[in-house]
Structure 1
Amino acid sequence: MDEYYIWIGFPRSSPEYIRGIKAFLKNAFPIYKNGDQMKCPCKKCTKRNWYCQDVIYDHLVCNGPSPLHADWICEVSQMKFGGTDDFEDCEMGIEFEDNLDAMFNYTRKNFENQGGCEDEPNADAKKLFRHVEEGKQPLYPGCTTFSRLSFLIRFYHLKCVYGISESAFGELLKLIKEAFPDANLPLSFNAAKSVIRDLSIDYEKIHACPNSCMLYWGKNKEKNECETCGVSRWVVHEKDDIVKNNDPPKLIHKVAANVMRYFPLRPRLQRMFLCKDFSKLMRWHALGRTKDGKLRHLADALAWKAMDARYPDFAAENRNVRLGVAADGFNPYRSMNLSHSWSTKGKLACPECHYETSSVYLKQSKKTIYMNHRKFLDPTHKWRLDKKRFNGEMEMGNSPVPLTGTEI
């Protein structure tokens, strides 16, 4: 066990534990605070509630640390830095959460330290750094809860979640500005959206076939009909006026029948690599993780290793990013009512065994349990014949053949 993990195991009334908590709060508040408060990592709050430093100290002493955040508390308590330079070089385990102030702080400091670099930031990076500087401005004089940029992002998020129209968003900005003249906000929707776009958190609209056959993208961008089903790309709105002199009705405009919102991945990855600390975390799988043959990280899995073996040139650069596809919602056996649902409960819960799943329903507890795991053992393993320690039966079954990606 590492040395800095020892103190958290001491009794909460011990001097060692008290020193560790004080060191954690001393190091954490300058980084993660919002105003004079920070999310409390105690066992009851689990970083859901915001409190001042004294209250968090009492919680950590009375309730103890949350097991989910114990490692992070220990790491933060051991940060050693005497100034800005030392602060930037430490491994601080940045948390990917809604903490814009911390993100702006990291990015701004890294940008300031690039004065000796030969390569100048590109245009997109300069836009981001400009907004980082603006992010330090308070929403209004004396405001400690929001910066100009953090409020704008939260406001734009509400627009997307609740379907607020662009015109309504602009009018709300004007209303806030009229009610609070000192508010440091843009005056129109377009001005606000330009800020969001420069931060690389905007999305693109791509027209799609109404039957979801194809996307009007790339070489198909200018087409007007689906190549598969022949359905028109557009919904045409016509005037309702009475037609005179047998003239055809005039068209108002065409609207896409189906639109897909696409969140570009490349600018988001580039934005992460702009920060030195984030870039370290993005390379941790190759340079920082423990490689002892145990399954500790995705890089230890067979899929990751198979990809490295298949694309050695790609694997040679540890800054390259691998993307995984989640299988949630798949229904390869069509055993659920929905065509894209994957059963995770019931008698056919195992996606590998499925119809060969060994399940037993317990009437008293009304739960389904899964037995016969010994069929995955070697046919000569001694546990296959052990009745006493298992379900009272010998296991003579064979493990199912794993499905290939094509079969799934």
Structure 2
Amino acid sequence: MEYRGWIRDPTKESPEYIRGVNEFLKFAFQNSEGSRKIMCPCIKCANLQSHSRSSVYEHLTDPRRGFLRGYTKWTFHGEEPTTSSGTTEQHLEMGHDMDGLIRDVFTIPPLEERFFGEGERNPEVGENVKFYKLVKENEQLLYPNCKNYSKLSFMVHLYHLKCLHGWSDKSFSMLLDLLRDALPEGNVLPKSYYETKKMISGLGLGYEKIHACPNDCILYWDKHINDQRCSKCGTSRWKTTNQDVQANGKETSEKKKNLPAKILRWFPLKPRLQRLFMSSKVSESMRWHHEGRLNDGSLRHPADSLAWKEFNSRYPTFSLDPRNVRLGVASDGFNPFKTMSITHSTWPVILIPYNLPHPFKTMSITHSTWPESN
């Protein structure tokens, strides 16, 4: 748009900037479907709070605020998201930018470099098999002439509902059976929950299971990875059942060694930190504390705190690069089943990236759970 340049104008009292603000407000309210409020794109609100036209005007013309840096594509105010070529893809018309989601997950060559045919791919692309498999799933319509969903986008939405509402694996598979019968012939729905999970597993980051001593003494990892008993308290690594105990109360040698007594689920940190910089939008936000934060002495963000400044003075080399990630750690125990009569509990260890504009409103990037039983 011809008035795009004023967003970066530092002189917020200039006639050009004021005219640009009014042009933005006119555009935004024309696309607000009659609402009297819109998301405010000022530095403080950051498209997270809705305000009236007069309030948004005051925020955007306030010398201490102004527009959120980098917000030049008004996706929160009516502009359509586009691909790098500038054209709206079919999946955006459907309402799901699955191509964008896939590209944020993988740092790979352009989408044009795809499979040449069944099982054949460009040798220059490398071994990014998961990426190209997801691209292929996203190019398949859910059924012939379907206008709303690709195979991948539909299964992501359906799997999301399963997670939100606690559907069992069996009920999910039964629902797939029903949907396959109900949808038009030629639909490409998976046959089971297992196939669905296998299909979309490439979009997420997994975790590793590490066996632990039931008394929390050690992890069966590194030099203890092959141990059968805890080196501290002598407790067995494995669960024992009634069938495993003889009449005299001693364990037999035939106990089920495939059932660990306790499991730590570890979500590796390094790939999650890498994921933060795979998206151009998120990587820009990771530098916001240095490049976009309003530094006027007020306490609005962890970067304004004395602790942050003390850390900078103690580690000047680390603080020189704004891309370095600052993390806060939190941990607490809870009973996931809300029944205090059972011993099962979970202790999540959550890391929060403080670099982001609103670190406490973002999802944690990694955590490990420590259940009393698996």
TM-score bracket for the superposition, by shorter chain length = 0.5 to 0.7
Q: How does 1:139-158 map to 2 (within 5 A)?
A: 139-143=142-146, 146-157=149-160
> Which residue does the alignment assign to 1:255?
259
Local SS of the residue matching 1:187: coil
Deviations 1:127-178 (A, max 9, x none): 3465256335443345555443343334444555666665665555445434
Local SS of the residue matching 2:328: coil
* Alignment partner of 1:101 is 2:96: yes
Shift of 1:210: 2.6
> Which protein is bigger by CA-based radius of gyration?
1
Local SS of the residue matching 1:318: coil
Task: Give me the whole-angstrom Cα distance separating, in 2, the residues matched to 1:296 and 1:150.
Answer: 38
> Which residue does the alignment assign to 1:64?
37
Counterpart amino acid of 1:135?
N
Match of 1:307 among 303, 307, 311: 311
Change over 3 Å in CA distance of 1:141–1:196 after alignment to 2? same
* Alignment partner of 1:134 is 2:173: no
Deviations 1:12-71 (A, max 9, x none): xxx98544423xx3xxxxxxxxxxxxxxxxxxxxxxxxxxxxxx422x2xx333661457
Match of 2:212 among 191, 208, 211: 208
Task: Give me the whole-angstrom Cα distance separating, in 2, the residues matched to 1:65 and 1:78.
Answer: 8
Change over 3 Å in CA distance of 1:20–1:252 after alignment to 2? closer
> Which residue does the alignment assign to 2:278?
274
- Contact kept? 2:109, 2:125, Cα under 8 Å: no
Task: Give me the whole-angstrom Cα distance separating, in 2, the residues matched to 1:122 and 1:128.
Answer: 11
- Contact kept? 1:238, 1:252, Cα under 8 Å: no
- Contact kept? 1:216, 1:223, Cα under 8 Å: yes
> Which residue does the alignment assign to 1:386?
none
Shift of 1:251: 4.7
Counterpart amino acid of 2:289?
H
Counterpart amino acid of 2:303?
A
- Contact kept? 1:107, 1:274, Cα under 8 Å: no
Deviations 1:289-324 (A, max 9, x none): 233443343222233333333434433333222211
- TM norm structure 2: 0.53
Deviations 1:234-280 (A, max 9, x none): 1135769xx9xxxx795555312222333333333323322222222
Q: How does 1:258-337 map to 2 (within 5 A)?
A: 258-326=262-330
Unaligned runs of 5+ in 1: 26-55, 89-98, 331-339, 341-408
- Contact kept? 1:200, 1:267, Cα under 8 Å: no
Local SS of the residue matching 1:231: coil
Match of 2:221 among 203, 207, 217: 217
Counterpart amino acid of 1:324?
G
* Alignment partner of 1:177 is 2:180: yes
Counterpart amino acid of 2:319?
A
Deviations 1:86-120 (A, max 9, x none): 869xxxxxxxxxx993463376599665989xxx8
Task: Give me the whole-angstrom Cα distance separating, in 2, the residues matched to 1:164 and 1:78.
Answer: 35
Local SS of the residue matching 2:37: coil
Change over 3 Å in CA distance of 1:230–1:308 after alignment to 2? farther
Structure 1, 107-116 or 275-284: larger mean CA deviation: 107-116
Counterpart amino acid of 1:200?
G
Task: Give me the whole-angstrom Cα distance separating, in 2, the residues matched to 1:8 and 1:216.
Answer: 62
- TM norm structure 1: 0.50
Task: Give me the whole-angstrom Cα distance separating, in 2, the residues matched to 1:122 and 1:272.
Answer: 23
The percent identity for this pair of structures is: 38
Match of 2:239 among 231, 235, 241: 235
Task: Give me the whole-angstrom Cα distance separating, in 1, the residues matched to 2:294 and 2:125.
Answer: 34
Task: Give me the whole-angstrom Cα distance separating, in 2, the residues matched to 1:100 and 1:261.
Answer: 35
Residues paired across the two proteins, number = 273
Change over 3 Å in CA distance of 1:253–1:188 after alignment to 2? farther
Over the aligned positions, Cα root-mean-square deviation in angstroms equals: 5.0
Counterpart amino acid of 1:211?
N
Counterpart amino acid of 1:140?
Y
Counterpart amino acid of 2:286?
M
Counterpart amino acid of 1:21?
F
- Contact kept? 1:108, 1:133, Cα under 8 Å: no
> Which residue does the alignment assign to 1:21?
29
